[in-house]
Amino acid sequence: KSGAVMESTAKVKTVVFDKTGTLTTGVFTVAAIETLHETWNDSKILTVAAALEKSSSHPLGAAVLEKAKQEYIEVPVFDDVQTIPGIGVKGVFGGKCYEVCREEDGVTPRLEGASSMLLKENGETLGRILLRDSLRKDAVSAVALLKKMGMRVEMITGDNESAASAV
């Protein structure tokens, strides 16, 4: 808006981007489902995760719901569904407590570059849902231009290291 603002931008040496929604589209898709319990299957994991995520506004939850819709899965209604900021969503169905939560730090998902969430029943892990986000079309050229201008470019994310490295 003013000459002072324009002058100060010339002094910028580092630009920091948030990954999701800035460098990437912020629109996730389910890339894979891993069943980690012998009595469960991918469809049942997706059904329960979708039921929990039905009331969530998180982009990962939206991807789970979209996948359930594509698979024509009837999503049941859970009781006492609660969102736990930064952790996940939990709820009760058939007297059992279910939880969809972020993967513990330091665990690398089996699908390189994927974000992951776990499905648990009464604390026992039943499965993992792996999700991917796509890079924005102009992200690579924008970062390259900033680097060419001599700027240092950094990225912050709440995602796992594998997903961050893929960007």
Which residues carry out catalysis?
18
User: Exposed (0-12), middle (13-18) or buried (19+): which is 13, by Cβ within 10 Å?
Assistant: exposed
Tell me, rounded to whole angstroms, the distance of Cα 50 from its chain centroid. Answer: 14
Contacts 24+ apart (CB under 8 A), 117-120: 117/49, 117/60, 117/64, 117/88, 119/45, 119/48, 119/49
Q: Answer for the pair 165, 152: CB distance below 8 angstroms, yes or no.
A: no
